[in-house]
Structure formats: C-alpha cells, structure tokens
Structure 1
Amino acid sequence: MGSLLFDVAHLLAGGLVFTSLVMLYQARLPNLIRVYGLQALLLTLSVAWQAYAQDAPHLYVTAAITLAFKALIIPVALLRMIERLGIHRQVESALSTGLTMMAGIGLIALSMVVMLRVTSGADPLAREDLAFALSVVLLGLLMMVTRRNAVSQVVGFMSLENGLILAATGAKGMPLVVEISVAFSVLVAFIVIGIFLFRIRERFDTVDSTALDRFREGRR
C-alpha cells in the first residue's frame, strides 16, 4: 500500500510538471488557459491524494477550494475575459519555442538536483514532491518572463501559485485558515488583475507588454 501511495502521489505531481511544460509550448491563449485548467484539476487530485496519504482531512477542504476556484472559476473567467478583449491570436514570446522548452527542461533538472540534495534527510514522499513543486514554480516564472502578453503572464503567475500549493501539501500541509486565506487572496488578486487588463485594453488597445514599454519610453 505504501508503494501505491508513493507512486500515485508522484504520478500526479509529475503531471503538474508536464502540464507546465505544455503551457510553455502553447502559443494561443485559449489553449493555454485550458491547459492551466487541466493543471489545476491535477493539483486538486494531488491535494486530495495527499489528504488520504497523510490522513489529513483538512486537506480535502484545500482540494475543494482548488477545484472550485482554480480549476473552474478562474479558467472560465479567463476565457470570457479574452473573448471580451478580443485577443484570441497567438501570443508572442521573447524566446523561440525550442529555446523556451530547453530552458524549461533545464529548470526541471536544476530543481531535482537542488531539492533532492537539500532535503536528503526528509521523508521520501515529501522531498520528491517538493522537487516537483519547485519545478512548477520555476516554470511559472519562466512563462512570466518570456511571454509578452499580460494575460499569459497572469496564467504563469497562477501556475506558479499551483506549485506553492503542491509544496505546502507535500510538506505535511498547512493550517486550514492559511489555506482559505490564500485561496481568497488569489481570487481577489485575480479580480484586480482582470480590472487592470480591461483598463489597459481600453487605454492602449492592446495587452502586449512590449507595446506598453514602448509607450512608456516615448513619454520620457
């Protein structure tokens, strides 16, 4: 039974890393958002499995919050947002797809090497989940840095936050009040970001961050 707990936990955590790589590969916003929704669903399953493996009932609440907000509400809201903004086109990246994927694979390898060495004395299930979680965080940061569209940068931020939740639950969870406050903080941040994006679109007729940088430089 212990081997099954270990294998399923790592299959789900590995699925989060894989979906992060798939998001780096996506060039169209609707596809990117759908893959993010799949990642959030995998996170829900991972948290629920950790609740069972650790005999921690409060993590089921975390799984329910993740399913409601991150796997359902946020992806649907993002899809409606890009529909209203009229930005179904391809998203430009600062690097080519090949270079971005190579950088992503390098970050995964770095995460594994660093985290497995740092946590050598920790529980095997927790230490490898932490390595997967760090990979998701770094890949989210990579997306935020390389994508030139504000919406895709928001998706990168949300993916990064998925990695933090995976790390917290893999390391024997966190207090329920913290989980609820984090979930609502993310929701509030998402609402603020949505309003911000609509204001950018209304003012500049684009959500391309490079166009905004050019405008700022022109004002100097």
Structure 2
Amino acid sequence: MRIAIAGGHGAIALHLEKLLSDQGHEAVAIIRNPEQASDVLAAGGIPVVIDLEKVDAATLALDLAGVDAVVFAAGAGPNSTAERKNTVDRDGAILLADAAEGAGIRHYVLVSSMGADDFDPESDDVFQIYLAAKAAADANLRERDLDWTIIRPGGLTDEPGTGEVTLAESTGRGTIPRQDVAALIAAALIDGIAVRAQFEAISGDTPIRKALAAVRY
C-alpha cells in the first residue's frame, strides 16, 4: 500500500512510517518544513513538502495521485494559537478528506482526541477550542461516504509500545504510548478492519488486531 500521512514529522507519524516501511509499504509523509525531511527518511518515509494551511483541495488531490489511503496525524501543537487549532486540527483534516475524495481514495484514518465531544462551547480557553476543532473534524468525516476510522487516544506517552490496548466508545481516562497508536493505525489500514468505527484508545491487555476486530461499527 501507498499511504499518505499528514503531519508526517509528528511522533506518531514517525513511528507509523517505520512500521509501514518495515512491512513493505510506502509511507508518504506530508510535512510543512523541508528541514524535517531527514528525520522522515531515517524513519523509512518519503517526505513531501506541502503546507496544509496554504494548499487547496484540488491541488492536494493531485499530490495524492497513486495513494491508497490517507492518515491525518497533524496538529497545531501545544503552544499554538486558538486560530491554528481551527486551521490545522479542524480545517486541515477536512481538507485532507476533500482531497481524498477528489483523488478517489476511500480509506481515511483520523487521529482525534479523547473527550473531543465534551468541549465547552462558551469557553475561549485554547484547549477547549482544540477539542471543539477535533470534534468538528470527526463529525465532518463521519458524514462522508469513505471507509473512515477515527481513533481518539488518551494521554500520549513516549513509553515503548506494548502491543496491547483497550478500545471502546468510552474507555475512561488513561494513557497510551504513541507507538501503540501508530500500530493501531497500521493494523486498521493494512488489515482493512475497524472501518466506519470511532473509538477511544488506551493501554490495556488485548492485542491490537484482536481489539480492532472487536470494535463495534
């Protein structure tokens, strides 16, 4: 498979690129900063410099020619403004879906956030705006005729992955290694499972592929 990953220099994306490359797949990493290309190459990915805040859907669709699936793992970052939560976390995810449809790509995996639907609509707190942006992106994708999967991980850690998780509509609070989130994405894409499913993900005691296969659609 040839898989394009928006946010291709993020920690989850770099783990994913290595996983895909090790299994003989092509991971196309969409990055904004060309200086990040060497890290992508080291992980086994193919860097492509595209700024999702400046490109339009038709142009991005052309850039996605030959791609079998897309992953949105981008984010404005913890120190970014409220405005960029919307332009990256919300609008970037929607743009990628528009481009995927334009390019005839059906499979889309979106990395969202636990608690995305629990935002305070009256708050101007940046974190609440971030959750609202994630919720809007998720809702937009759910309405599309695509083979989508929405993963809402708990607190992300840099601990080594265990390969075992708990997946549910609501798992309760918990953490999960970024490496295991990457493994969830890879398994969903390669095995074609958990299609049209949205779930929260934390560390647990169920092997990843078995947990994905048991997700209710």
TM-score normalized with structure 1 length = 0.31
**More contact order relative to length (CA 8 Å, sep ≥ 6):** 1
- Larger helix percent: 1
